[in-house]
Structure 1
């Protein structure tokens, strides 16, 4: 079987190669001159062992051309371009003796020149998209050998020797072997310090020395010395030494001895004071903040104007060229530079960050004016206010496990500093359309989701609470509050609905990589519309009821319980359900048809009931990604939500009556009570040369209790779709091993695991191969179907597995993604018959997405 698979792969490779060669010129040597050689291979031997790490690969100044399935496709594309395109175009289209110039009689001069330019642009596109042949260059090979020597020298192998050998053949191919002999590494031995300024020397020995990154017994590593220099500079600039800089720190390394031991001297020089014609050395001094001046409406055009308004508040001086429009505390809360404290560089950084997050000012600037006499600093903070009123518009392309693709537009009015405390009020209206249809079902309209709504949001740059939280969450964590009221009307999957939401939310950032979010109150009221049309939406359930009703003679074979597209408050289908469950038909409890009717009724009741959710939740996110170009990082997300506890306790305390189902109600609607938690972990590895490996693991569970025996539809979990297990369309996977034909399958527990290898194909085109695994189950709720419930570790055999591949195009600001998923392990089939069934393109799922799935 393995041999057959290999032969199939090899045959496919050959067919692809033949196709390309038929379309393009496959002479890879086309642009290689007779006296040149094409570089085909680099080998790096370190102490006679091959080294293929990305670190070493990045040191190579010249590399062979990239390939796709062993084919140098980009070289072939490059070879299609003409190197002397200008002279060719002139000869063909600007030569009066050439018949091609007859096109001038059909086109205007401007059109004719545009036509010629298009030819040149296409030729340039071929060059840019393709890749020039990698011609062996001995000078670059020498630079590579030197780079290898410098690298290993920087890591402590001071006696390293490097060389290279080039093998050239008669076919003008060249292969280079680089040889590195490291010798024995040098190790740090004695470490001394020579610190000129006594106060810095005392601080180093009492506090800074303990965290040193260079220690006795370490192998020498230049990176450790650079990191130690950065650490000491940061610590000293945060300890009052305003004039201190990195250049004052040097290391004197002695490697004279023959025992591979290094004697290191840490040298911190005195401050250099430059005069007109000389430099003098003086000890560093600690500077303190003498004054903090805040100019709240500074602009270049009024820099020479007179201050008309000033306020002193908590040791801060606030100045304004016009009337002061802010409450002083709103401004001073954003300033971390405090009068009387020693200078700390981190205070300036935190102030910049907080002021930026306020979104009330443009281009904040902080200047320090030193006074050498008393070693003090005057800090001047210059703020340029943004416009008070601003119209906002946004357009988004989005995707989720609900939407295959969605388009949203919003417009609104933003009012800054509405209560003179740097608050921002946003009033907006939104509209969106989206598609959730199964790609294989051509009967549905494509855009089957739409939404209209309004939103009122107040952002407050501090915690909006009746008590002080400074000791628990200091202001350097940038605490903020958000109060939101919104109303939406949706034509959604399933039944249409209206939703009203109110939230009181708090955000803070304990560190640069950690975000905390607390919904103190989140109140949602969801009203389902057109509930009488339930069987017009859930036609599978309706068809099953008709089949049962005909089977027991409840209706004739040519009759129907109702037209499922005509809304009705109480339809014949509802009457039939009532008769079955009321034992008024031939069906009795325990019959499979009776169980089916009961399950349909339970599902209908849950999906048509209005929901009142009064919850609190906490979200934790730790994102280790440094920037947009960092492809080696991890993200951890954790969420905990508690719903209904407050209302339940109040209901019990006031001994409120229960409804016929034994549930408390508020305004005639039973409120939901549950606990829900989600854990999401994503890890990316940068493999170099635009290759990346990514994994995702997800677990979520929502457990009803107290006033609920099931989870609201909006809080349930779904499986499948372009961001999930991609071999199944959204909602079509699960629950468990059940072969459900429901339009929208959901449950209250979910497990997902995914792995994806991403690689560059050509220019902005990237490819990926992936494996997804996961499923949903019911647990601790009122669902009794064994196939749909999670009964312990044995249920893990019902985890579905999908595999496939995809192509992505990177537009820069977003990625357009297409994935093809194949059902590799289908838990809806019988055990022993689940692997690689319908594993073909006709049964594959085709996903279109925006950005990466994780």
Structure 2
């Protein structure tokens, strides 16, 4: 009994400590948050809820985060005590994991009341009444606000400038797409946004010196029954130069600008005239054509903000300059013209970087990799990037049937990137991202201990370009891969006798042809409720070659240099949707569809191009690459777990993510899918794709934690299957068999995944 009482008392002490009130200064209270009550019979309930939500975000200060009434942040803050050093464990505990208590003495009720009053009036509630008070209980206090709304005023009339100046006429011409609409509620934020919109449009029309503060907005609330009239006009104090549209005159580029320079001489001996530009580069570091391909302005162009920003963005994305600065000045020689100046500070030409990485892959392998990267920027004075990389790594499977079959990787890559399209004809893009041409050649030696080794040579030449920050294209005109086996062990050859499909892993492979991928994403817009990611990829091999050589019999394949080449067409899509609920809660969903069609010289896709499913970033309730194809189950007594592959893939995942505490996030997920073969193979019954594919899906579920340490995200998932497609017909669903208390069930079904980063 004493032990139980001791545990109870200890637990109560911990809970008391976590409540956050233990070390509150005498005479003060712990601030636990606020309550807002919004009243008003003249306003709809939905509108009151909307106002209440917006006011919630304005009230300051924010209280300490709590979990079930406990405030662990304050507990850790107090636990760390006095911290004198600005680093170390105690500093991390106090200021990263912990939170300083928010005291009621920090709350300014009068100030918050004023904020509430102003916000309501800015939304059109001109006769609002507000009250502020507090509720105190023991060592805690809350702030209480009451808002009484009346009628919300609507827009009855909008008056734009009626003068005859060019600027006035341009503003009047912009009213067609105005954000302000008759009959809608008065909203000061929307009025400000409309002024900003007008300013943006005028910048596109040459009005460089204009800004939104030159637009005067007046309101008359006496024109009707709870209605207002708006006047948008040009302030009389607007400078004369802000009323004029400007063109571009001279363009000066300081391509080797040093920040410590005090004076700039456009007409110095270092200046070089090139078409529309004047290049100042005493050391001749760059070819003038670099700037012709990068800058969007030409002499005589009407100034516009789009080309202004695109030029800066292209200079930055060249990856050659450390600092990029731009300035426009009124021309001394001609009126209503601007001279453009670009001050560019190059990065060091040569650099070396050493990286030590922790990594995990879809095959449930974890390990480390060491990369050594040497770069030469501006290799041929055209902002080219020459990179040479050497790498080595080790991957192990901590648990699972492949434990002990470690993977060693060693290799290197050489690539050269040109900041332009290298084509027989001139191509210019209006994107803010510089298009690139890339040529690369690499080699990798992979040793799977106790099994085999592979030598892989790869070379490619192609183009990369972005339409904007959301849309990206990658086209390899040719992509050649040659794989040669080495050191195949007797153990692996013995397994081939039992499973003939293992032999294709160690066959010589020659793959060549174009590849293309398109990516669209708006996931960088974190404030949007719905965001998307889409990637579509097309991979073709030996299409023209097979036609020329008459390759139409996979049983008697054509060869190049004694190696049979693969012939296929492969298409794959990856679509993701993210639904943001706010408060760092998100529903993430993904669907993957892939199809590979071998033909001509091949009756199946080469192993490196086939699809796999299962593992830490796929269907997490099944071991990596252990599912399928179809209903097939490998019953051979393999010493290791062979990779199951297919020509067709369908996978879907959905995961609800939410914040638990500071850097800890939780997830509940469901995964499903399978792979199939396009053609029937006698030793893999049930593997061929058919119209019964929906009845052959593997499904699993689970929960997980994500630890966000800023420099990496460590992910842990516990998952278990709900449906096993390889079980006898009618017995595939295994929900009734779930028994967490059964040790044998846990051993057979419960899968623990440890990985780095989110699965999608």
- State the TM bucket, normalised to the shorter chain: 0.7 to 0.9
Provide the residue aligned with 2:281 in structure 1. 320
Task: Give 1:186-197 correspondences, 5 Å limit.
Answer: 186-194=153-161
In the TM superposition, what is the alpha-carbon distance from 1:165 to its structure 2 partner?
6.4
Please report the RMSD computed on the Cα atoms of aligned residues, expressed in angstroms.
3.7
Distance 1:405 1:660, change over 3 A: closer
- Map 1:305-704; keep pairs closer than 5 Å: 307-322=268-283, 324-371=284-331, 374-402=335-363, 404-435=365-396, 437=397, 439-441=399-401, 443-444=403-404, 448-470=406-428, 473-474=429-430, 476-492=432-448, 495-531=452-488, 533=489, 536-537=491-492, 541=495, 573=497, 600-601=499-500, 603-626=501-524, 633-652=531-550, 661-704=555-598
Instruction: After TM superposition, give the deviation of residue 398 of structure 1 in Å.
Output: 3.1
**CA distance in structure 1 between the partners assigned to 2:392 and 2:237 by the alignment:** 62
Q: Does 1:153 align with 2:121?
A: yes
Would you say 1:61 and 2:19 are equivalent positions? no
Name 2:151's counterpart in structure 1: 184
Instruction: Give the unaligned 5+ runs of structure 2.
Output: 1-5, 636-640, 741-745
Contact 1:196–1:268, Cα closer than 8 Å, also in 2: no
Greater gyration radius: 1
Q: Give the Cα separation in 1 of the matches to 2:64 and 2:242.
A: 57
CA contact (8 A) 1:423 1:458 kept: yes
The one-character-per-residue Cα deviations of 1:200-243 (angstroms, maximum 9, x if unpaired) are 2222344x233222222333333322222222212212211121
How far apart are the structure 2 equivalents of 1:802 and 1:449? 28
How far apart are the structure 2 equivalents of 1:430 and 1:124? 34
Alignment coverage as a number of residue pairs: 729
Match of 1:237 among 198, 203, 218: 203
Alignment of 1:767-786 (within 5 A): 767-783=665-681, 785=684
Structure 2 SS opposite 1:744: coil
SS of 2:60's equivalent in the other structure is coil
Equivalence for 2:754: 848
Q: Counterparts of 1:43 and 1:538 in 2: how far apart (Å)? A: 72
Q: Does the CA-based 8 Å contact 2:413-2:441 persist in structure 1?
A: yes
User: Structure 1's 177 and 366: CA in aligned 2 closer, same or farther, altered over 3 A?
Assistant: closer
Partner of 1:722: 616
Distance 1:399 1:27 in 2: 36
Is the contact between residue 124 and residue 185 of structure 2 (CA under 8 Å) also seen in structure 1?
A: yes
Q: Which residue number corresponds to residue 251 of structure 1?
A: 217
Q: Partner of 2:743 in structure 1?
A: none
The residue aligned with 1:199 is 166
- For the 8 Å contact 1:815–1:850, the answer to whether it is kept is yes
Q: Hey, what's the Cα distance between the residues in 1 that align with 2:68 and 2:260?
A: 63
Establish whether residue 829 from structure 1 lines up as the match of residue 727 from structure 2. Answer: yes
Whether contact under 8 Å (1:195, 1:266) holds in the other structure is: no
Task: Report if the CA contact (8 A) 1:61-1:143 is conserved.
Answer: no
**1:753, distance to aligned residue in structure 2 (A):** 2.5
Change (3 A) 1:142 1:799: farther
Structure having the larger proportion of residues in helix: 1
Contact 2:322 2:347 in 1 (8 A): yes
Measure how far apart 1:245 and its partner are: 1.7
- Contact 1:746-1:776 at 8 Å conserved across structures: no
SS of alignment partner, residue 346 of structure 1: helix
The DSSP-based 3-state class of the residue aligned with 2:317 is helix
* Alpha-carbon distance between aligned partners in 1 of 2:106 and 2:344, rounded to the nearest angstrom: 57
For residues 609-650 of structure 1, give each alpha carbon's deviation from its aligned partner in whole angstroms, at most 9, with x where no partner exists. Answer: 222212322222222134789997432222222222122222
Question: CA separation of 1:40/1:233 partners in 2, compared to 1, >3 Å: closer, same or farther?
Answer: closer
Offset, 1:176: 5.8
After superposition, the C-alpha distances for 1:449-471 in whole angstroms (9 at most, x for unaligned) are: 2222221211011111101233x
The structure-2 alpha-carbon separation of the partners of 1:438 and 1:210, relative to structure 1 and needing over 3 Å to count, comes to same
The TM-score with structure 2 as length reference comes to: 0.85
My pick for the range that moved more, 730-739 or 844-853, is 730-739
Label 1:449 to 1:137 Cα distance change in 2 as closer, same or farther (>3 A).
Answer: same
Contact 2:502-2:642 at 8 Å conserved across structures: no
Q: Specify whether residues 26 and 395 from structure 1 end up closer, same or farther in structure 2 by C-alpha distance, changes over 3 A only.
A: closer
1:30 to 22, 31, 49: 22
Cα offset, 1:537, TM superposition: 3.7
How far apart, CA to CA, are the structure 1 residues paired with 2:87 and 2:537? 56
Q: 1:824/1:701 Cα in 2 relative to 1: closer, same or farther (>3 Å)?
A: same
Question: Is residue 732 of structure 2 the alignment partner of residue 732 of structure 1?
Answer: no
Aligned match of 1:796: 694
Which residue in the other structure is 2:232 paired with? 266
Are the counterparts in 2 of residues 289 and 340 from structure 1 also a CA contact under 8 Å?
yes
Q: What does residue range 736-751 of structure 1 map to in structure 2 within 5 Å?
A: 736-740=630-634, 742-751=641-650
Indicate if the aligned counterparts of 1:164 and 1:178 stay in contact, CA closer than 8 A. yes
- Taking structure 1 as reference, are residues 149 and 421 closer, same or farther at Cα in structure 2, changes over 3 Å only? same
Report the CA distance shift for 1:524/1:31 in structure 2 as closer, same or farther (over 3 A): same
- Cα distance in 1 between the residues matched to 2:321 and 2:26: 64
Corresponding residue for residue 253 of structure 2? 294
Gaps of 5+ in 1: 1-14, 87-115, 274-280, 543-572, 574-596
- In structure 2, the residue matched to 1:100 is none
CA distance in 1, matches of 2:369, 2:528: 29
Deviation at 1:506, TM superposition (A): 1.0
Are the aligned partners of 1:726 and 1:845 in contact in 2 as well (CA < 8 Å)?
yes
| In the alignment, structure 1 residue 814 sits paired with structure 2 residue 693 | no
Other structure's SS at 2:300 match: coil
Q: For 1:644 and 1:18, locate their aligned partners in 2 and report how far apart those are by CA, in whole Å.
A: 75
Structure 1 residues 396, 158: CA separation in 2 closer, same or farther (over 3 Å shift)?
farther
User: Which one of the candidate residues 686, 689, 704 is aligned to 1:787?
Assistant: 686
* SS in structure 1 at match of 2:160: strand
Residue 439 of structure 1 contacts residue 845 of structure 1 at CA under 8 Å; is this kept in 2? Answer: no
How far, CA to CA, are the matches of 1:17 and 1:497 in structure 2?
61
Question: TM-score when scaled to structure 1?
Answer: 0.77
Between 222-231 and 823-832, report the one with greater CA deviation: 823-832
CA distance in 2, matches of 1:145, 1:505: 61
Q: Aligned residue for 2:638?
A: none
Distance in 2 (alpha carbons) for counterparts of 1:772 and 1:790:
23
